[in-house]
Amino acid sequence: MRLLVDTNILLRVVAGDDPQHRLVSEFIDSHLLTDDLFVAPQCLYELWTVITRPLSVNGFGLSVAEAFVAVDKLVDMLDLLEDPASLVKRWLEVCRLYDVKGRPAHDARLVAFALEHQIQAIVTLNSQDFATYRDIQVICP
């Protein structure tokens, strides 16, 4: 199966002290053997934003050098797919079809990304964020 890995999963992989680190790491390790795991550029940008943000504002406080190593490891582990030229058009279709407004537009973009790459499911810890989208399966480790 082709799976798109959401940012919240990537964050738990990077945060070794997170209570869900082991759960998501074991999920990733087990599915690397049986499935195709993909990451969207959007998720890497979101990850970078959180891990380089100071602890005082709900970030990880990593230096640029530390963040680079963490993101580079994930890019080596997962298959990074490029944003297709048709992504904006598909995203607009998804937003219109599901009446997407505000912050959920970020999740709609991931749905559009998955659909454009013929990915069947999104792996996330926030299954409710994707529950409305009938075209994509949601997997919560």
Residue 45: the pLDDT is 97
Domain region containing 24? 2-80
Position 43 confidence tier, pLDDT thresholds 50, 70, 90: very high
pLDDT, tens digit, 9 for 90 and up, residues 59-106: 999 999 999 999 999 999 999 999 999 999 999 999 999 999 999 999
User: Residue range 20-40: average pLDDT?
Assistant: 95
Q: Which of 88, 112, 89, 78 is nearest to 9 (CA)?
A: 78
Domain count, the chain: 2
- pLDDT at position 58: 93
Indicate if 72 and 92 belong to the same structural domain: no
Whether residue 13 is found in the same domain as residue 37: yes
Say which DSSP state 130 is in. G
Are 16 and 52 contained in the same domain?
yes
Contact 28, 8 (CB under 8 A): no
Pair (17, 73) in one structural domain: yes
Same domain, residue pair 70 and 110: no
Question: Are residues 16 and 55 both part of a single domain?
Answer: yes
Question: What distances in angstroms separate CA 100 from CA 11, 41, 68, 87, 88, one per listed residue?
Answer: 25, 21, 33, 16, 14
Evaluate whether residue 7 is within a structural domain. Answer: yes
Confidence of residue 117 (pLDDT cuts 50, 70, 90): very high
Cα separation of 96 and 16, whole Å? 39
Predicted confidence at residue 120, as pLDDT, reads 96
Confidence of residue 5 (pLDDT cuts 50, 70, 90): very high
Minimal CA–CA distance to 71: which of 37, 47, 106? 47
